[in-house]
Structure formats: structure tokens, C-alpha cells
């Protein structure tokens, strides 16, 4: 059996201190780096918010509407820890969005949980608050525990993303050439159908992901050199 939790547990057992996700935003100057342990802590806190606080269960569908950002990788991991299926359209049981999607999804908060992130450094809260009924991740995630065990959680046949089971998702990731312990530099949004494979390949291949946004081609070359990363 292969699930996200098993993949992450394997990384924690092998090398918990090494970088797993590194994020550059050249529009703000932000550089955030998550070690395996730090990433696992963020995933556990966010999973606790989704599962314990909001009552989502294995088999529920989480619609993810986030731009390319390190928190997108955390939300995916949290969803998979709980046993949720990540979707990008269609029926859903909850929504996770960023500031650009806040107005679009706020009206749904009366019917399904809507979690929003301001996508500020250190996952800060919205300075001006959020609409009634919307959960501000930057306010609610910090009080969650650093460990989370889902029950029943996910198994091989649990849907992980857009109709794909955990078994299929991780088998496909292991077959990608990027899954070789390398640092992979990408501009693709890992919380999207097109960029999902970059994240899963880094996880299953014991590599790491370097995500750069708003960077010029010259800047990407510099980041690749500084991070000793290969381009996706």
C-alpha cells in the first residue's frame, strides 16, 4: 500500500532536516524554505483544521483554488492526510482559496467550509479580516497540534486527486524521471493539475521542490544555480 502519509513518514525517517519545499516570490522578495519536518508540521496542523475543526472525512472532496505558493503544497498534503480527494472543479464538500478567490467563494461559506489564506509570509492572517463564515487559515491553523492521525484515513483505493487513487498517483510519480532525489525547479503551480506531478515526484523520489514565481528567465537561471536545482 502507498499513500501520502506513508511517503511522508518515509521521508521523516530518512532525513527529516533536509529541505523539501523552497519558495521564491520575486514580486515580494519572499524566500521560504520548509524542511521535511517543518513541512510535516504544517501538514499536520492544516489536516487538523480540515478534519477535526471542520469535520471533513475521508472521501470528501476539497476544491483547491490557490496560486503557485508553498502553502499549496501543504494544503495538498493535509487533504491527502485526511483522505480527501483534491479537485479543481465540480461538486465539492469544502473549498480552500487565496485572496483572489475570496470574493468568489465567500457566498458558499453558508453551505460548505471555506478556508482562505492571505498567502502572506509565515501564513499570516488577512489584515482586514475575512467575510462572515469564512475560515482564515492564518488565524485558525496556529492553534492546531503538530501531529495528526486520520481515522480511517486513506488507503490504496482512496481518491487523491481528480478521480485518481493514491495507488495510481504515487505509482505514476515514481515513474517520472524527476523522481531521482534531485532538487527540481519549477514555475508550475503544484496545486494544479499541470504542476501536481512536480510535487509528487519530489516526494516519492526523496527529492525536493524549488518553486519560483514572478521571476525573469535570468533570475530563474540564478535560482537554479544557487539552489543546485534542475529545471522542470
Over 80: is that where the pLDDT of 178 sits? no
DSSP for 33-53? Answer: EEEHHHHHHHHHHHHHIIIII
Separation of first and last alpha carbons in the chain: 28
Q: Look at the chain and report how many structural domains it folds into.
A: 1
- Band of residue 1 on the pLDDT scale cut at 50, 70, 90: low
Q: What cell does 197 get?
A: 506531478
Does the pTM of the predicted model rise above 0.75? yes
pLDDT in tens, 33-90: 999 999 999 999 999 999 999 999 999 999 999 999 999 999 999 999 999 999 999 9
* Alpha-carbon span 3 to 208, nearest angstrom: 18
* Alpha-carbon span 34 to 164, nearest angstrom: 27
Over 80: is that where the pLDDT of 181 sits? no
pLDDT for res 35: 98
CATH code (residue 184): 3.40.50.12780
* Alpha-carbon span 207 to 223, nearest angstrom: 17
- Band of residue 174 on the pLDDT scale cut at 50, 70, 90: confident
Over 80: is that where the pLDDT of 180 sits? no
* Alpha-carbon span 132 to 106, nearest angstrom: 8
142 HSE (CA, 13 A, CB side): 8
pLDDT for res 189: 98
Over 60: is that where the pLDDT of 26 sits? yes
What integer best gives the mean pLDDT of the chain? Answer: 94
Compute, in degrees rounded to 10, the torsion defined by CA atoms 202, 208, 211, 215.
Answer: -120
Domain span including residue 161? 4-231
DSSP for 79-145? Answer: HHHHTPEEESSSS-SEEEE-GGGHHHHGGGGGTS-EEE----GGGPPPTT---TT-EEHHHHSTTS-
Over 80: is that where the pLDDT of 210 sits? yes
Query: What is the SS3 assignment for 165?
Result: strand
pLDDT for res 87: 98
Amino acid at each position: 500500500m502507498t499513500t501520502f502519509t506513508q511517503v511522508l513518514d518515509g521521508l521523516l525517517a530518512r532525513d527529516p532536516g533536509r529541505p523539501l519545499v523552497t519558495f521564491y516570490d520575486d514580486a515580494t522578495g519572499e524566500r521560504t524554505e520548509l524542511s521535511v519536518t517543518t513541512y510535516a508540521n504544517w501538514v499536520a496542523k492544516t489536516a487538523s483544521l480540515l478534519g477535526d475543526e471542520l469535520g471533513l472525512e475521508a472521501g470528501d472532496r476539497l476544491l483547491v483554488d490557490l496560486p503557485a505558493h508553498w502553502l499549496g503544497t501543504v494544503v495538498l498534503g493535509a487533504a491527502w492526510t485526511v483522505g480527501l480527494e483534491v479537485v479543481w472543479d465540480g461538486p465539492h464538500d469544502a473549498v480552500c482559496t487565496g485572496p483572489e478567490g475570496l470574493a468568489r467563494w465567500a457566498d458558499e461559506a453558508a453551505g460548505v467550509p471555506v478556508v482562505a489564506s492571505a498567502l502572506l509570509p509565515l501564513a499570516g492572517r488577512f489584515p482586514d479580516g475575512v467575510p462572515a463564515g469564512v475560515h482564515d487559515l492564518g488565524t485558525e491553523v496556529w492553534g492546531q497540534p503538530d501531529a495528526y492521525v486520520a481515522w480511517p484515513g486513506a488507503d490504496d483505493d482512496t481518491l487523491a486527486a481528480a478521480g485518481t487513487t493514491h495507488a495510481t498517483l504515487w505509482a505514476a510519480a515514481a515513474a517520472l524521471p524527476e523522481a531521482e532525489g534531485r532538487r527540481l525547479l519549477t514555475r508550475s503551480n503544484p496545486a494544479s493539475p499541470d504542476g501536481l506531478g512536480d510535487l509528487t515526484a519530489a516526494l516519492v523520489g526523496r527529492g525536493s521542490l524549488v518553486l519560483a514565481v514572478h521571476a525573469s528567465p535570468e533570475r530563474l537561471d540564478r535560482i537554479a544555480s544557487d539552489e543546485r536545482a534542475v529545471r522542470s
